[in-house]
């Protein structure tokens, strides 16, 4: 078997583009073009400035692959085409990024005087075309002129018609649409077509063609809710799909945008040569040998188990051999050899050979023969070790080449609670509070569980706060949640330094009011006893901690940050009410933590915006406190 070819289906391309748009908030703010570079002869890296920072799009014309991420490009270069684009459209807004008719064509529309379009074709030999707003070709990676199609400077770029329309037009003109036509016009990829057709029919009418196409589109749209991509092998081709076709034939599954990006980067940047091919072939030979040994082992075990049915015959035949006689069969097995020197018989049936000692009783002889099974197992283990070593060689070689070109940086994914005010208690319980009337309403209605504790302060403008799974929490955790409630109430803004906070059970909070009364959005009725914590002092501590392998800023109580901050953090921030503006505080904290290397400099703007959104409204006094002093206080 040759090297595997990765096939990125048009539907997967659509899913990846949608993921890029969602992750970068494309629908809120359109990105700007920063630069385009070449990684190799057929691979381009487009750097865009998005609402979520700098992103790089990788497009491989030869392999027809696409991915994106927070990437660092090294050893890149420019040719005439990329130099031209960088001169003409640097810092221009990209008004549209679209896939043409679910085909493998990506079109970037640029907001400049000529209305440039950058068109990537990920089919055939692959191509890059630059046109004006009338699709007049300004520049092209690979010019050609054939009877079917022409791509030349000065010519008009003609987008291919939607394939479904071509089929329907053929049907309207009386042409019989066959199964072969469906695959020829490829209204979707071959594996999806096979899945959707699921019949031996050879001819299709217009209604059936439209039905197949609509079902394919529904599959694609549903796939946007699935964080995984699915791999299906067809010979030497590995198809990358955005959805499950048949569970029993899935070759692999990759979930999460970080892992998907890494997988695609590895395939875009790896340029496999004879060295990798040679190692891969060796690995395949060893894998075949393992399968052969497993088969032989299973047959040998089966044969030895059958031997117990012939114990009496074995005893008689063993005795004859010990007397010097020759024998030809034992039960259903042929005796192909008698080794009188080493005292064993070689028996054969259906290409399986076993050796039995005849100088011991049959039971002991069969037991000794089982040692061959152990030798099979040892041989398989040794081969598996060799395969792992070869796999490591291949991965090391690919990593060496990939690292030279593209460095992947993990994106800062957000959790559901980051839409709200949030913290982590001393003992690890999640604290979530509303930011305003709307989020208070959402928090209580959607996220309140029976195991939570609800907090509120006796002041207008207090958030409702949840201590998730609070029924298992202790007094430290309850204090931490009360502190968040107090600090994010209006008390901070108006300069009140201490306020009481109460907490209740979930069943005590309701939207139901006494007859004739009205309760406004974000407010709730509280029934039953309130548990008060008096004089909660408004002070917050800030540190950096790891949450599911991602660095995040933690805001909370003294004990909270001492428990959860990263081990090498030596200094913390203490915030109380004062005269410094929020923006000054944010700049001071982020600058200090990026300088110390606690936060990634590449995500400086992300962290600044995050902290701006999460600090209470008002002004501040800022202190930097040494960890040892804080521990002793």
Tokens of 346: 């070689």
DSSP letter, residue 464: P
Query: Do 43 and 141 reside in the same domain of the chain?
Result: yes
Mean pLDDT of 24-38: 91
Looking at residue 483, what is its pLDDT? Answer: 97
Query: Do 357 and 420 reside in the same domain of the chain?
Result: no
pLDDT digits (tens, 9 = 90+) for 537-572: 999 999 999 887 678 999 999 999 999 998 878 889
Query: Do 217 and 129 reside in the same domain of the chain?
Result: no
Q: What's the whole-number average pLDDT of the chain?
A: 87
Query: Do 11 and 77 reside in the same domain of the chain?
Result: yes
Phi then psi dihedrals of residue 370, to 5 deg: -65, -15
Is the model's pLDDT at 530 over the cut of 90? Answer: yes
Looking at residue 187, what is its pLDDT? Answer: 67
Query: Do 522 and 549 reside in the same domain of the chain?
Result: no
Query: Do 491 and 597 reside in the same domain of the chain?
Result: no
* Count of the separate structural domains present in the chain: 5
Range list of H helices, 350-432:
362-369, 371-405
H helix or E strand, kind and range, residue 526: strand 525-526
- Does 260 reside within a domain? no
Identify the domain boundary among 151, 182, 213: 151
Are 24 and 55 in contact, with CB atoms under 8 Å apart?
yes
DSSP letter, residue 463: P
pLDDT digits (tens, 9 = 90+) for 116-131: 999 999 998 899 999 9
Torsion of the alpha carbons at 551, 555, 556 and 560, rounded to the nearest 10: 20
Query: Do 198 and 128 reside in the same domain of the chain?
Result: no
Query: Do 174 and 69 reside in the same domain of the chain?
Result: no
DSSP letter, residue 2: -
Beta-bridge partners for 494: none
Looking at residue 1, what is its pLDDT? Answer: 41
Tokens of 119: 């068109």
- Does 336 reside within a domain? yes
Looking at residue 12, what is its pLDDT? Answer: 94
Query: Do 178 and 291 reside in the same domain of the chain?
Result: no
- Does 363 reside within a domain? yes
- Does 236 reside within a domain? no
Distance (Å, whole) CA 244 – CA 226: 10
Are 121 and 115 in contact, with CB atoms under 8 Å apart?
no
Q: Using only the alpha carbons of the chain, give its radius of gyration.
A: 35
Instruction: Give me the CATH number covering residue 40.
Output: 2.30.310.10
Query: Do 360 and 420 reside in the same domain of the chain?
Result: no
Phi then psi dihedrals of residue 245, to 5 deg: -100, -65
Place of tokens 């692999």: 252
- Does 402 reside within a domain? no
Structural domain for 609, as ranges: 540-632
Which percentage of the chain shows pLDDT scores above 70?
Answer: 94
- Does 387 reside within a domain? no
* Terminal C-alpha separation, the chain: 68
- Does 251 reside within a domain? no
* Residue-wise DSSP of 412-436: ----GGGGSEEEE-TTS-EEEE-SS
Identify the domain boundary among 537, 552, 579: 537
Query: Do 9 and 126 reside in the same domain of the chain?
Result: yes
Look at 213-222, 270-279, 429-438, 596-605 and tell me which has the smallest mean pLDDT.
Answer: 270-279
Query: Do 13 and 140 reside in the same domain of the chain?
Result: yes
Place of tokens 């195991």: 451
Would you mind telling me the total number of residues written for the chain in this entry? 633
- Does 518 reside within a domain? yes
Identify the domain boundary among 133, 151, 169: 151
Distance (Å, whole) CA 236 – CA 3: 7
Contacts of 152 (CB under 8 A, 6+ apart): 137, 140, 143, 144, 145
Mean pLDDT of 491-499: 92
User: Model pTM greater than 0.75?
Assistant: no
Distance (Å, whole) CA 49 – CA 36: 12
Tokens of 546: 């790891």
Mean pLDDT of 216-222: 89
Confidence bin at 198 (pLDDT 50/70/90): low
Looking at residue 211, what is its pLDDT? Answer: 87
């Amino acid at each position: 078997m040759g090297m595997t070819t990765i096939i990125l289906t048009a539907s997967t391309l659509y899913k990846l583009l949608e993921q890029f748009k969602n992750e970068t908030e494309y629908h809120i703010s359109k990105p700007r073009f920063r630069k385009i570079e070449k990684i190799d002869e057929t691979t381009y890296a487009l750097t865009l400035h998005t609402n979520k920072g700098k992103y790089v799009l990788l497009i491989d014309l030869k392999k027809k692959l696409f991915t994106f991420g927070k990437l660092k490009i090294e050893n890149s270069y420019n040719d005439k085409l990329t130099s031209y684009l960088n001169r003409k459209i640097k810092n221009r807004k990209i008004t549209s990024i679209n896939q043409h008719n679910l085909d493998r064509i990506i079109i970037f529309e640029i907001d400049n005087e000529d209305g440039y379009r950058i068109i990537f074709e990920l089919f055939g030999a692959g191509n890059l075309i630059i046109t004006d707003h009338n699709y007049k070709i300004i520049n092209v990676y690979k010019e050609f002129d054939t009877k079917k199609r022409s791509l030349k400077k000065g010519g008009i770029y003609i987008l291919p018609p939607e394939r479904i329309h071509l089929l329907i037009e053929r049907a309207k003109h009386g042409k019989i649409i066959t199964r072969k036509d469906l695959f020829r016009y490829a209204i979707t990829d071959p594996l999806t077509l096979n899945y959707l057709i699921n019949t031996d029919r050879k001819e299709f009418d217009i209604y059936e063609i439209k039905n197949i196409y609509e079902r394919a589109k529904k599959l694609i749209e549903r796939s946007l809710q699935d964080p995984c991509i699915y791999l299906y092998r067809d010979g030497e081709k590995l198809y990358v799909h955005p959805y499950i076709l048949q569970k029993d034939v899935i070759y692999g599954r990759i979930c999460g945008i970080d892992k998907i990006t890494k997988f695609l980067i590895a395939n875009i940047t790896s340029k496999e040569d004879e060295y990798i091919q040679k190692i891969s072939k060796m690995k395949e030979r060893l894998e075949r040998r393992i399968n052969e040994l497993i088969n032989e082992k299973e047959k040998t075990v089966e044969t030895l188990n059958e031997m117990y049915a012939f114990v009496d015959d074995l005893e008689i035949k063993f005795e004859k051999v010990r007397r010097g006689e020759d024998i030809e069969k034992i039960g259903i097995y042929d005796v192909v050899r008698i080794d009188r020197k080493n005292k064993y018989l070689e028996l054969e049936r259906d290409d399986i050979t076993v050796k039995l000692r005849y100088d011991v009783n049959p039971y002991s002889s069969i037991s000794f023969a089982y040692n061959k099974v152990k030798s099979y197992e040892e041989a398989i283990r040794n081969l598996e070790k060799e395969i792992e070593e070869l796999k490591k060689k291949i991965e090391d070689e690919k990593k060496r080449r990939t690292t030279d070109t593209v460095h992947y940086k993990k994106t800062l994914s957000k959790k559901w609670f980051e839409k709200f005010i949030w913290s982590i208690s001393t003992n690890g319980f999640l604290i979530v509070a509303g930011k305003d009337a709307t989020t208070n309403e959402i928090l209580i209605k959607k996220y309140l569980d029976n195991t939570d504790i609800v907090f509120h302060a006796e002041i207008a403008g207090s958030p409702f706060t949840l201590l998730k799974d609070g029924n298992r929490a202790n007094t430290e955790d309850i204090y931490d949640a009360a502190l968040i409630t107090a600090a994010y109430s209006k008390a901070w803004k108006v300069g009140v330094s201490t306020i009481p906070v109460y907490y209740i059970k979930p069943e005590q909070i309701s939207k139901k009011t006494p007859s004739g009364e009205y309760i406004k959005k974000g407010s709730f009725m509280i029934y039953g006893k309130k548990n008060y914590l008096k004089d909660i002092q408004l002070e917050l501590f800030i540190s950096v901690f790891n949450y599911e392998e991602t660095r995040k800023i933690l805001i909370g109580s003294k004990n909270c940050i001492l428990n959860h901050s990263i081990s090498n953090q030596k200094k913390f921030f203490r915030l109380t009410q004062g005269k410094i503006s929020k923006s000054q505080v944010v700049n001071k904290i982020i600058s200090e933590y990026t300088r110390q290397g606690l936060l990634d400099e590449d995500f400086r703007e992300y962290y600044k915006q995050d902290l701006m959104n999460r600090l209470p409204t008002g002004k501040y006094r800022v202190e930097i406190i040494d960890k040892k002093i804080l521990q002793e206080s």
